[in-house]
Structure 1
Amino acid sequence: MLTKTVKSLGLAMGLFACSLPLYAKNNVVVVATGGTIAGAGASSTNSATYTAAKVPVDALINAVPQVQDLANVRGVQALQIASESITDKELLNLARQVNDLVKKSDVNGIVITHGTDTMEETAFFLNLVVHTDKPIVLVGSMRPSTAMSADGPLNLYSAVALASSESAKGKGVLVMMNDSIFAARDVSKTINIHTNAFASQWGALGTVVEGKPYWFRETPKRHNSSSEFNIESIKSDSLPLVGIVYGSDNMLPQSYLALQQAGAKAIIHAGTGNGSVANYIVPTLNKLQSEGVQIVRSSRVPQGFVLRNAEQPDDKYGWVAAHDLNPQKARILTALALTKTKDAKEIQRMFYEY
């Protein structure tokens, strides 16, 4: 009698288990743009000599079948380009495609495979213009897919794990490289040949180990849904032209004047030290400012931040201090700021808030 009861109970439990809903995996779209992660070298020993943007998105995904254990993954080929060739036109095009995807109810997260050279600019741009709390993760590699010990497959696996994680929601656009999770606004490429190429002076947000994200900090700056910028309000295929002049000894005024002649609406001065400006360059910058070209003082130094009125009387000149944004990210924010205002005080506010 007892045996019969146990068998009946076992059958009932089995039927109950079968009736439970299976765990539903999140849906992640891999948006491919090219870069080293899609690169190919002549042999497996070519880790630094290769052709970027060769491998299509489906081949990238199929090369790491384990990602399907993490999420339902499909691919979109948005671009096929080495990232140093990306212009504002490609940035806007990519942002619109990503914006369309995150609006879909059946898309839970986005992974963007991207060349590492300008990954930080693209990540920061998306961080400012795509209004969503869904995870957007940029990922790349320092070695092509054909190289020995290629870093792309594990980076992609970790990026899918991150994009499919509920814990990544609302944290802004992320960069996933070499096991580390970085915030788009303060990550930068600091090494050009090693796999630990990305860093932030404020540290990583967290790490991914065996497909699980672990978090240690968050960014306090405005991003995505809290941003005043929105890709949907930008109707043009271009942004206001903003150029960068690199600071050194023996500067030439013509470097700045050439950008003005090319139509630049603002110039990022990537100064030495605290965004320093040589005394013989100050008259040129003031002339440009008086003629409607906004001057933004950034620094070529990779850590620290530019103090307003500390090196130059920014209030007096009407210049903007880039705070802790490096020159290339200062260019992105300035271009977007100029779609809203030409007021230097307003632009300065934006640098502090973003």
Structure 2
Amino acid sequence: EAALKYLLIGAASSAVFLYGVSLLYGLSGGETNLIAIAQGIADLESGQSLGVLIALVFAIAGVAFKISAVPFHQWTPDVYEGSPTPVVAFLSVGSKAAGFALAIRLLSTVFSLVTQEWHLIFTALAVLSMVLGNVVALTQTSMKRLLAYSSIAQAGFVMIGLIAGTNAGYSSMIFYLLVYLFMNLGGFICVILFTLRTGTDQISEYAGLYHKDPLVTLGLSLCLLSLGGIPPLAGFFGKIYLFWAGWQAGLYGLVLLGLITSVVSIYYYIRVVKMMVVKEPQEMSESVKNYPEISWSLPGMRPLQVGLVLSVFATSVVGILSNPLFTLANDSVAKTQILESQLVEMQTVSSVVGEQHLSLYRED
């Protein structure tokens, strides 16, 4: 069921995205180079602007599916719950990172002349994703479904950097996606290990896990707290950079909403940590009571152990090294000629639009 749902919804979203791209191909006069398409769109008459907006909506719909943004998120909880956990771990990180990379490349290059329009669309997507993702996660009883709605909310946070459209915004996106890679993979590795040893991923079955498996408890606790933005872990600095970039760009409402929903997310993350750590031995779940003897010599266990240690180490240490890593991300954006030129162009277009509105106001 999970595979069929992902196949059908993925095929539909790809078809919608390709239809939007085909519109761009036609409107630009048969160009395939992104810069040439942008130039072709800029030369269009005002009567053809509706076609550009339709192409924009279709392209954003395809990207929103990849990053699990509301309301294109329906596949995420069911696919996360029904798919093998290693596959879900890859989808939660690889697909999301690729989707945001595509969004930056496409929106900053092709749709730079309709920046205000796609800013408005992504603002709505970010608000819906942050609110729905965090609120619905409060009611989940399955660890996979909780992480699914968590990933939806995380997409909303990352969209703040995209909407900012500045050097700091893109740099904070890169930094946060790097951090998200480690803390999300670390969390899924812990879920894989627990599921292999108990056969369940129900949150209630994690009760008292600290007494039987301290390593998995430590790893899952650090990764979840980092996802919640607890200092001094890496997720805290990732969110700080995103929110600061949004604040500098004037996205005050989005940043405040992000702060509020981050506080909400801390509740359901700490609930799991408390379940594992605080429970007394007599309050352990049946799965933990029957927890098998830990053996890392079994086939496939060594890579999981190495991955868990690396993820936990990175989640803990990247927070300390956040400044040089963010500087590296900032330099990479500044030295990317396409992004650099588009940032200048977007600022120029915004100033021209502002002058046009001002002149119209004076005429009135």
Normalising by the residue count of structure 2, what TM-score does the alignment of the two structures yield? 0.31
> Which has the greater radius of gyration?
1
More helix by share: 2
Higher relative contact order structure (alpha carbons within 8 Å, sequence separation ≥ 6): 2
More strand by share: 1
Normalising by the residue count of structure 1, what TM-score does the alignment of the two structures yield? 0.31
